[in-house]
A = this chain, B = another copy of it.
Amino acid sequence: MSAPARLLISCPDQPGIVAAVSGLLTQIGCNIIHADQHSTDPTGGRFFMRMVFEPMGVSRTVVAGAFEAVARRFDMQWTLSYGERRRMAVLVSKYDHCLIDLLWRRRRGDLEVDIPLIVSNHPDLEKDARFFGVPFYHLEINRENKRAQEDRMHEMFLEHGVDFVVLARYMQIVSPEMVARWPSRIINIHHSFLPAFIGAKPYHHAFERGVKIIGATAHYVTDNLDEGPIIEQDVVRVTHRHSVEDLVRLGRDIERQVLARAVAAHLEERVLVYGNKTVVF
């Protein structure tokens, strides 16, 4: 049995979309396994759909060709994937928890993804990368060379056929140029329950504010720091007994889980971005 194919659609809402798409796929012999839809507003909003189907031997080219007319009719933006394995670059700094978790989940088969390279501005995590069989590149970054190093990184991504980038506690602000090159394709994990505690040292700020719950947020990176479309969030309860160090420790468990769930959703093409928000099917 071949891998199921996925059709992602976004278009102005109007009657007949589900029937047109499912009718077409059935007509050319594909078998719909699952479909999700969302409309931002039943009257004049935007419509999103994700259809998972068994191609039944019908090739990607044939499906795409047949779909063209429907897409034009409804003014659709769409992507069609045939279970192509994605390639993910991971940027890290010195923190190991998110990286090890991603590497372990990939080894385990929980994340069906290739990781052609890990890049870091510190050499600390090279041994971990190597243990899990992933090439590690150390690119030192300072004020002067930041732009140049990002260019180099970008070239490395292209060379390695990277599809998307994960900032697994990278601790560096990515330049607007980089963001523009990888729109909705850089996933960051921020160690707070956004929009609370944007920016640096969120656990310190959470401690000072005396919150009773802390969290983590995975989002697509945009030009506005920690303000990109949120993919996933989770929280954990804390008390007055917890020091800042405790929050950091408890936060690690949330960070790695939230990031892993966001990466899984991205890989399974369950995330659609509109404006500054996401639909996560």
Contacts and interface: CB of A to CB of B under 8 A. Distances in A.
A26 B35 contact: no
28 contacts: A15-B31, A16-B26, A18-B18, A18-B22, A18-B26, A18-B35, A19-B25, A19-B26, A20-B26, A22-B22, A22-B23, A33-B42, A35-B37, A36-B36, A38-B240, A38-B241, A42-B54, A97-B108, A100-B100, A108-B252, A193-B193, A194-B196, A195-B211, A211-B233, A212-B231, A239-B280, A240-B277, A240-B280
Given A23-B19, A32-B19, A194 B215 contact: no
Contacts of A252: 108, 110
Contacts of A42: 33, 54
A160 interface: no
Q: Is the contact region of chain A dominated by helix, strand, or loop, or is it mixed?
A: mixed
Interface string A192-214: 01111100000000000111110
A8 to B, nearest CB: 14
A15 B32 CA distance: 7
B19 A15 contact: no
Contacts of A209: 194-195, 230, 276-277
A196 B196 CA distance: 5
Nearest to A109: B249
B32 A35 contact: no
A178 interface: no
Nearest to A100: B104
Nearest to A196: B196
A56 B42 CA distance: 13
Contacts of A11: none
A32 B98 CA distance: 37
Interface string A95-135: 01100100010001010000000000000000000010000
A257 interface: yes
A100 B27 CA distance: 49
A174 interface: no
A20 B15 CA distance: 16
Nearest to A260: B253
A209 B276 CA distance: 7
A197 B197 CA distance: 11
Contact of A279 (B104, B108, B240): B240
